[in-house]
């Protein structure tokens, strides 16, 4: 069986021509080999000016997997010129494939779905976020095309034969599918260890709640992740006798957020850690006192789930699937700095401990064994349906 995976990604290609990534890894792509023998990956690919090791990324080099590089079709040039050329390539690979996995939102996946419908092929959508939010928060061009991509995504998902959502309810309500569907996050958690929670509770017992170290894992060069609101909040509170610090893990240029920190006079309280490996992120999570997910757009944030699995007390916005993970008392409307401040001021050792226990137990729902069971069950149903159709025509 030949499988096709489509997504805007991006995938990266290092200075030596080696494909690499931090989330689209061998471990992630391996799941499809439960039902296919070969996998073609149609994905936007960007060059790196360093090796994958220097970039703290993982090599992507599975056997029987072929990567087809697609340019950025979200640009004016991509939308008006390159789209036609690469549409033909996408159509050809759809024709050669048996099982089609289209990860959304994605312009490449919109085209994959278009040709799957044209060729009357069953397809599987993986809904990882909101198409509207993903474009609306990306400048003027994003706002212009947001209605178009939203309607395309809504239509493509609705007509899908099979669907997997990263949220339990939120994305399903906005982008319903008429097909067989399930929900399973893209996070990778091995069985969580209760010793982690015990270590966290001991740490909380010793912490000074007026000197919390707050952390966020997210790209630092995209404004919709909302780190600026945490920076503003700690600047307000530190003027009132608190001594909060904020550590940011993630790739991209920190220039914008450095300007925000300078504007609010907390340059010495904000630290940019850069892109860390998976193990480095885990070790770092164990050093912070509170995790923050202040996003203006999301699906179901993997970084937040990873923080919960380390017993981190956490706060977050009411965006997308975040309310499925966090209690109401630690949530705020996106950009509401005043409420962020109020939440932080109410933090004490008992509430941090209670929050840590709730979060740790919540993370167990996302252990890899549980998620793989859900995915494999629906993948096999999809494969059986395709095999039955092929046998009918043979």
* Residues 15-59 pLDDT 10s: 999 999 999 999 999 999 999 999 999 999 999 999 999 998 999
Dist CA 292 CA 233 (whole Å): 12
Q: Is the backbone peptide bond immediately before 10 cis, with ω within 30 degrees of 0?
A: yes
* Confidence class for position 394, pLDDT limits 50, 70, 90: low
Helix pair angle (302-309, 349-363), 10° resolution:
110
Which residues, listed in sequence order, are joined to residue 38 by a DSSP beta bridge? Answer: 2
Give the residue among 356, 341, 2 at the shortest CA–CA distance from 205: 356
Dist CA 276 CA 282 (whole Å): 9
Tell me whether strands 19-21 and 58-59 are parallel, antiparallel or unpaired: antiparallel
**119 in Cβ contact with 96 (< 8 Å):** no
What's the pTM? Answer: 0.84
User: What DSSP designation does 192 have?
Assistant: P
Q: What is the pLDDT of residue 188?
A: 80
Greater pLDDT, 186 or 40 = 40
The widest CA-to-CA distance across the chain, in whole angstroms, is 76
Q: Which residues contact 267 (CB under 8 A, 6 or more apart)?
A: 258, 261
Phi, psi of 64 (to 5 degrees): 65, 25
Alpha helix positions (H), 178-276: 194-206, 227-238, 255-263
Q: What is the pLDDT of residue 392?
A: 79
**Average predicted confidence (pLDDT) for the chain:** 93
CA distances to 196, 286, 297 from 204, rounded to whole Å, are 12, 11, 30
Q: What is the pLDDT of residue 141?
A: 74
Q: What share of the chain is helix, strand, coil (3-state, %, to 5)?
A: 50, 20, 30
The tokens 């793989």 sit on which residue?
A: 372
- Map out the domains of the chain with their CATH numbers: 2-188+368-393 (3.40.50.2000), 194-365 (3.40.50.2000)
* Confidence class for position 393, pLDDT limits 50, 70, 90: low
pLDDT in tens, 326-384: 999 999 999 999 999 999 999 999 999 999 999 999 999 998 888 999 999 999 999 99
> Each residue of 248-261: b (16+ CB within 10 Å) or e?
bbbbbebeebeebb
- Find the length of the chain: 394
**What token pair was written down for 191?**
């069985």
**40 in Cβ contact with 99 (< 8 Å):** no
pLDDT in tens, 124-169: 999 998 988 877 777 777 788 889 889 999 999 999 999 999 999 9
Cα angle for residues 69, 70, 72 (degrees, 5° grid): 135
Q: What is the average per-residue pLDDT within 319-326?
A: 92
Dist CA 120 CA 89 (whole Å): 18
Dist CA 312 CA 38 (whole Å): 40
Dist CA 271 CA 248 (whole Å): 6
Q: What is the pLDDT of residue 116?
A: 98
């Amino acid at each position: 069986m030949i499988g096709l995976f489509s997504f805007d990604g991006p995938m990266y290609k290092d200075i030596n021509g080696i494909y690499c990534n931090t989330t689209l890894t061998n471990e992630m792509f391996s799941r499809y080999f439960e039902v296919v023998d070969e996998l073609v990956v149609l994905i936007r690919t960007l060059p790196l000016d360093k090796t994958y090791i220097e970039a703290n990324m993982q090599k992507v080099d599975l056997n029987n997997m072929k990567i087809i590089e697609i340019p950025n079709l979200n640009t004016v040039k991509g939308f008006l010129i390159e789209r036609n050329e690469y549409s033909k390539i996408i159509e050809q690979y759809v024709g050669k494939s048996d099982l089609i996995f289209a990860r959304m939102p994605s312009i490449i996946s919109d085209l994959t779905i278009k040709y799957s419908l044209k060729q009357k092929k069953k397809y599987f959508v993986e809904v990882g976020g909101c198409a509207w939010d993903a474009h609306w928060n990306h400048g003027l061009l994003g706002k212009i095309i947001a209605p178009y991509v939203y309607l395309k995504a809504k239509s493509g998902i609705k007509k899908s034969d099979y669907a997997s959502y990263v949220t339990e309810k939120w994305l399903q309500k906005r982008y319903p599918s008429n097909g067989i569907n399930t929900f399973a996050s893209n996070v990778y958690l091995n069985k969580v260890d209760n010793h982690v929670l015990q270590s966290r509770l001991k740490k909380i017992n010793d912490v000074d709640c007026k000197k919390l170290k707050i952390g966020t894992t997210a790209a630092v060069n995209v404004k919709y992740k909302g780190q600026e609101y945490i920076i503003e909040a700690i600047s307000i509170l530190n003027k009132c006798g608190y001594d909060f610090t904020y550590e940011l893990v993630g790739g991209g240029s920190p220039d914008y957020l450095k300007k925000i920190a300078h504007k609010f006079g907390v340059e010495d309280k904000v630290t940019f850690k850069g892109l860390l490996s998976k193990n480095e992120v885990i070790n770092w999570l164990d050093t912070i006192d509170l995790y923050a997910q202040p996003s203006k757009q999301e699906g179901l944030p993997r970084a937040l789930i990873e923080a919960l699995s380390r017993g981190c007390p956490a706060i977050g916005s009411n965006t997308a699937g975040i309310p499925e993970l966090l209690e109401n008392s630690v949530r705020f409307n996106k950009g509401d700095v005043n409420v962020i401040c109020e939440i932080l001021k109410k933090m004490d050792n008992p509430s941090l401990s209670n929050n840590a226990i709730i979060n740790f137990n919540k993370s167990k729902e996302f252990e890899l064994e549980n998620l793989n069971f859900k995915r494999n069950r629906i993948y096999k149903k999809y494969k059986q349906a395709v095999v039955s159709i092929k046998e009918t025509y043979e």
